[in-house]
Chain A
Amino acid sequence: MTEYRFIGKATPRKDALDIVTGKTKFINDLSIPNMLYGKALRSPLPHALIKSIDTSEALALKGVKAVLTYENVPDWLGGLPLHVRILDRKLRYVGAAVALVAAETEEIAAEALRHIKVEYESLPAVYDSEEAIEPDAPQLYEQFPGNVYPLEIQAFGPKSLREIAIGDVDKGFAEADFIVEGTYTYENIPNPLPPEPPGAIAAWEGKDTLTVWSASQGPHMVKVSLQKRMGSINLQSLGSPVGASYGTKYMSWQYVLPAAALAQAAGRPVKYYYENPEHLAAFSLRLGSRIHGKVGMKKNGDVTALSGDWFVNTGASSETAQAMVSVGCGEAQLMLRCPNWSLKPKVVCTNRTASGQVRGFGGQELKCALIPLLTLGMEKADIDPVEFFKKNYVKPGEGYYWRDGFWWESRGIDYTGAIEKGAAVFGWQEKWQGWLKPSSVNGVKRRGVGVGVHGNADVGEDVSEAYVRLDPNGTATIYSGLAEHGTGQRSSICKMVAEVLQLPLERVFVTPTDSRINPFEYGPVGSRGTYAIGSAVIAAAEDAKRQLFEKMAPKFKAAPEVLETEDGMVWVKGQPGTRLPWMKGMRYDSTIMGHGRFEPDFTLPNFMMIFTEVEVDTETGKVDLVRVVGATDVGQVIDPLYLTNQLNGCLGSAGIDSAIFEETVFDTRLGRIMNANMIDYKWRTFAELPEMEHAILETPIPSHRFQAIGVGEIAPSPGPSAVLMAVSNAIGTRIHKYPLTPDKVLAALGKITKQERRGN
């Protein structure tokens, strides 16, 4: 393995000093001169029409500068396809915005909301995905009859993947030794809940220049995706450090459009920042996922056919659900080798807070329902799940239909090694006692183990561009639209450039995330930071280095190819005595700009397996997560501490804990979320941490300069189904309704009878 100066070594984050001293400016820490504060009046009803709305009293309040309703708000749309108005006459969930106010202070804005008089006409509401498609169900949108979103929206080009249709399932089921079927769900719509609520500041100059400061995970895409539809030909998007996102703040129109509309109406800059209860009740939840599925299997565990209807409940609107369905369908194929598929997704809208982009992006939602179905077959075949996943996970040379609808073949890593290492670290062989058998029993406490798997082929998705500028004083500046959202990626790209140019890390900088100066950047999603963003930055650094050597070569009377550089000095290879500083070739009056671009490539699946051990108290029904082992192969570690941080992130952000206690509790009588606060919404505390260990392999990926690929996004995704398996094994009976709260465990044990709740 190559020994590097920075790559693979733990180095402090470039932003560390500001973070630990409180100097980091998140979006709500910014204010700009003359700024107003925006707030939303929100619907108390799950489905209603506004019969009348009177804003005169609110407008008359001193300090109120603008009030917007569906009657005077700009007709800018969000959603997929574009269909969500900023304010609409029809309200489709409790929490839907009814009116927007901009005022001199937050207090005045809040006061103004109380002076808006609204008369509602209540409409019948529907919350369950299958009830919503019944003929007599309440209809949410005229343009989507039956409450079904069209899948033909070409989110990823003309052939965008809309289903998994491979082979002939009838033939596959005929070849099976046995068939298992059932309905499995992942419908507790957990909230990823980054600590920083979403927010933005918007300011107009003239009619066509709009500046947006936002907490977006992909600030450059704010510009690209919003400027045309907002009538601004020059949207200047500035990113702030993101107080985490987990996918949710990538699509930013929900908070950028209201800020921009208010700023336009008031003629002054406006900050629009969600309060925590709004964040919990009126911002992106996970998709609800339900499968009626059927699996044909051979006695040896080979899957001959998989068919099913996949109901995707996206709530009141689709932020990006059809795209998540595409990616989910691709990710299911990475996990399962099966010659005959027929998985038919249906994206349905219902009268609850909208689901949106969340890490795991369709694949987690699909697999959390699909894997429990597969385990029925594994149990019947009496096959160890680790062996099953090992046999089935996509190998180099094997193919899959990816999100664009094209067939791609893996030229990545064989993950067998990572699976075996993970099993060894976890002690799987010793703990696995067979299906529905506990690994140990101690009085009323029973332990069980389970395993789950996930991976995407998105590490090379979409385009990144970067520039690297060299200055004569021996410094390098990376121009990138990459926002820091917690993974340390802005520091990681500095390490990559420092390694290419052999500069001390202290001499490498990144520009602020600002679309006015940086080239195109899709953003850090789909674990693409290391491979896609990294490759663009590395290419820019290599280009800059090439130009530097061309510029310096005459000084040495040598060819550029024989030059070397380190610490801002250049010399002829093998002749260290010829050392000259960059300044000698560049003089004080020039800069060098290297350009880099990454083109999409779906041939590299990444991989994550999670092993879990749980302890179930059969008296109280409480499930404790005792131990977690994550297994992956990252090609090459960029920074060991950034990596373990990301892998440890498997617990929260709608990850593993969505199988144990995290859920959005929804009351179907009122159509309301009952736990939209951080006391009633349960989250894991420092006092309840499981043992955590990771098995990390480094099998080089030849197509990356440092042989590395990312895994951050997918870290939590294998977890929930692994917990289901572990609890089922611990208690000796199948249990599969997320989250496994004590009532469900006791019901499975026959200790209580529990009424089913419907409609999430």
Chain B
Amino acid sequence: MTPTNSRPSHPTITITVNGETHKFMRGEVSNMVSPSHTLAHTLRERLGLTGTKISCDHGACGCCTVLLDGKAVLSCMLLTLECEGKEITTIEGLGDAATGALDPLQQSFIDHTAFQCGFCTPGIIMSAKALLTENPSPTKEEVQEALSGNFCRCNSHYHVLDAVLAVTERREDE
């Protein structure tokens, strides 16, 4: 592959992933981040964060969902270079880094066996996390809507809904 010239004004790209800041050289050489690399690719291949799964690789299945500044995004549809200065959270960074405690959502997925093969589970948990951050007491329909971009072929949907609703903040009037 022929190396392309990086623009001298932006030779690097800096992203924060799960609280750790990473600085990459931009370019086409194997240890650089290429302008064509997706965030999913960088997370998996450069940072070894393989909890973020790639299934369709074109924004249809939600398996690669991560948080970007707290919002759910499809990491296969974002170029890494678009994430300059952003805070990324992946499934590996969801628990409490200091204590190792799981996020309540993760514990609830365990308690409800809210998965079967588990391939789509990280993406589903990240979508649910983004929802609960924005709306701590969603209705069942709101959870369904928030997860409607996540493909689950084993049909663990029903257990997932139980697991997510179990950690929502119940409103007083309910």
Binding site for B on A (CB under 8 A): 10, 12-13, 15-17, 19-26, 28-29, 62-63, 105, 107-108, 111, 192-197, 241-244, 246, 275-276, 484-488, 639, 641-642, 644-646, 648-653, 677-679, 683, 685-687, 689, 692
- Asked whether, in the complex, the Cβ of A645 is within 8 Å of the Cβ of B156, the reply is yes
Beyond A195-B153, A686-B150, whether A486 also contacts B61 by CB under 8 A is no
- Asked whether, in the complex, the Cβ of A652 is within 8 Å of the Cβ of B58, the reply is no
Measured in the bound complex, the distance between the Cα atoms of B63 and A135 in whole Å is 48
- Find residues 45-82 in chain B having any chain A CB closer than 8 Å to their own CB: 49-58, 60-61, 63
B131-146: CB near A (< 8 Å → 1, else 0) gives 0000000000001110
A21 / chain B contacts, CB cutoff of 8 Å: 51, 91-92, 94-95, 102, 106
Measured CB to CB, the nearest residue on chain A to B115 is A19
- Asked whether, in the complex, the Cβ of B155 is within 8 Å of the Cβ of A652, the reply is yes
A244 / chain B contacts, CB cutoff of 8 Å: 116-117, 119, 153-154
Q: What are 6 A-to-B residue pairs whose CB atoms are below 8 Å?
A: A16-B113, A20-B115, A63-B1, A195-B117, A486-B154, A648-B159
B120 contacts A by Cβ under 8 Å: yes
Beyond A486-B118, A648-B158, whether A276 also contacts B110 by CB under 8 A is no
- Asked whether, in the complex, the Cβ of A26 is within 8 Å of the Cβ of B53, the reply is yes
- Asked whether, in the complex, the Cβ of A16 is within 8 Å of the Cβ of B119, the reply is no
- Asked whether, in the complex, the Cβ of B106 is within 8 Å of the Cβ of A243, the reply is no
- Asked whether, in the complex, the Cβ of B109 is within 8 Å of the Cβ of A20, the reply is yes
B88 / chain A contacts, CB cutoff of 8 Å: none
- Asked whether, in the complex, the Cβ of B113 is within 8 Å of the Cβ of A22, the reply is no
Q: How far is the CB of A304 from chain B (nearest CB, A)?
A: 39
A275 / chain B contacts, CB cutoff of 8 Å: 57
- Asked whether, in the complex, the Cβ of B115 is within 8 Å of the Cβ of A677, the reply is no
Task: Choose from B95, B112, B151 the contact partner of A683 (Cβ within 8 Å).
Answer: B151
Can you add 9 more A-B contacts, CB < 8 Å, to A19-B115, A685-B148, A686-B150?
Answer: A16-B109, A16-B113, A195-B119, A243-B119, A276-B58, A484-B117, A486-B116, A648-B157, A683-B153
Which A-B residue pairs are the 10 nearest by beta carbons? A22-B51, A243-B119, A22-B91, A486-B117, A486-B116, A19-B118, A29-B50, A678-B60, A244-B117, A641-B113
Beyond A16-B110, A29-B50, whether A689 also contacts B144 by CB under 8 A is yes
Beyond A20-B102, A678-B58, whether A196 also contacts B113 by CB under 8 A is no
**How many residues in B have their beta carbons less than 8 Å from beta carbons of A?**
56
A683 / chain B contacts, CB cutoff of 8 Å: 151, 153
B38 contacts A by Cβ under 8 Å: no
Measured in the bound complex, the distance between the Cα atoms of B159 and A689 in whole Å is 12
- Asked whether, in the complex, the Cβ of A20 is within 8 Å of the Cβ of B125, the reply is yes
Binding site for A on B (CB under 8 A): 1, 30, 44, 49-58, 60-61, 63, 90-92, 94-95, 102, 106-107, 109-113, 115-122, 125, 143-145, 147-161
Q: How far is the CB of B127 from chain A (nearest CB, A)?
A: 9
- Asked whether, in the complex, the Cβ of B30 is within 8 Å of the Cβ of A276, the reply is no
With most chain A CB atoms within 10 A of its CB, the pick from B107, B149, B153, B159 is B153
Q: How far is the CB of A448 from chain B (nearest CB, A)?
A: 23
Q: How far is the CB of A104 from chain B (nearest CB, A)?
A: 8
Measured CB to CB, the nearest residue on chain B to A30 is B50
Measured in the bound complex, the distance between the Cα atoms of B154 and A646 in whole Å is 8
Q: How far is the CB of B165 from chain A (nearest CB, A)?
A: 13
B116 / chain A contacts, CB cutoff of 8 Å: 244, 486-488, 645-646, 649
With most chain B CB atoms within 10 A of its CB, the pick from A19, A195, A246, A648 is A195
Beyond A276-B56, A645-B116, whether A20 also contacts B121 by CB under 8 A is yes
Measured CB to CB, the nearest residue on chain B to A657 is B155
B111 / chain A contacts, CB cutoff of 8 Å: 12
Measured in the bound complex, the distance between the Cα atoms of B115 and A487 in whole Å is 9
B1 / chain A contacts, CB cutoff of 8 Å: 62-63, 107-108, 111
Measured in the bound complex, the distance between the Cα atoms of B60 and A20 in whole Å is 21
B158 / chain A contacts, CB cutoff of 8 Å: 644, 648, 689, 692
B92 / chain A contacts, CB cutoff of 8 Å: 21-23
Measured in the bound complex, the distance between the Cα atoms of B107 and A498 in whole Å is 23
Measured in the bound complex, the distance between the Cα atoms of B155 and A692 in whole Å is 11
Q: How far is the CB of B159 from chain A (nearest CB, A)?
A: 6
B156 / chain A contacts, CB cutoff of 8 Å: 645, 648
Measured in the bound complex, the distance between the Cα atoms of B95 and A487 in whole Å is 26
Measured in the bound complex, the distance between the Cα atoms of B152 and A246 in whole Å is 13
B61 / chain A contacts, CB cutoff of 8 Å: 195, 678
- Asked whether, in the complex, the Cβ of A22 is within 8 Å of the Cβ of B52, the reply is yes
- Asked whether, in the complex, the Cβ of B148 is within 8 Å of the Cβ of A276, the reply is no
Q: How far is the CB of A504 from chain B (nearest CB, A)?
A: 17
Measured CB to CB, the nearest residue on chain A to B30 is A105
- Asked whether, in the complex, the Cβ of A24 is within 8 Å of the Cβ of B118, the reply is yes
Task: Choose from A16, A24, A649 the contact partner of B154 (Cβ within 8 Å).
Answer: A649
A10 / chain B contacts, CB cutoff of 8 Å: 113
Measured in the bound complex, the distance between the Cα atoms of B113 and A646 in whole Å is 11
B107 / chain A contacts, CB cutoff of 8 Å: 20
- Asked whether, in the complex, the Cβ of A194 is within 8 Å of the Cβ of B109, the reply is no
B149 / chain A contacts, CB cutoff of 8 Å: 685
- Asked whether, in the complex, the Cβ of A196 is within 8 Å of the Cβ of B119, the reply is yes
- Asked whether, in the complex, the Cβ of B117 is within 8 Å of the Cβ of A22, the reply is no
Measured in the bound complex, the distance between the Cα atoms of B161 and A686 in whole Å is 9
Measured in the bound complex, the distance between the Cα atoms of B143 and A486 in whole Å is 23
Measured in the bound complex, the distance between the Cα atoms of B44 and A391 in whole Å is 56
Task: Choose from A20, A195, A692 the contact partner of B110 (Cβ within 8 Å).
Answer: A20
A107 / chain B contacts, CB cutoff of 8 Å: 1
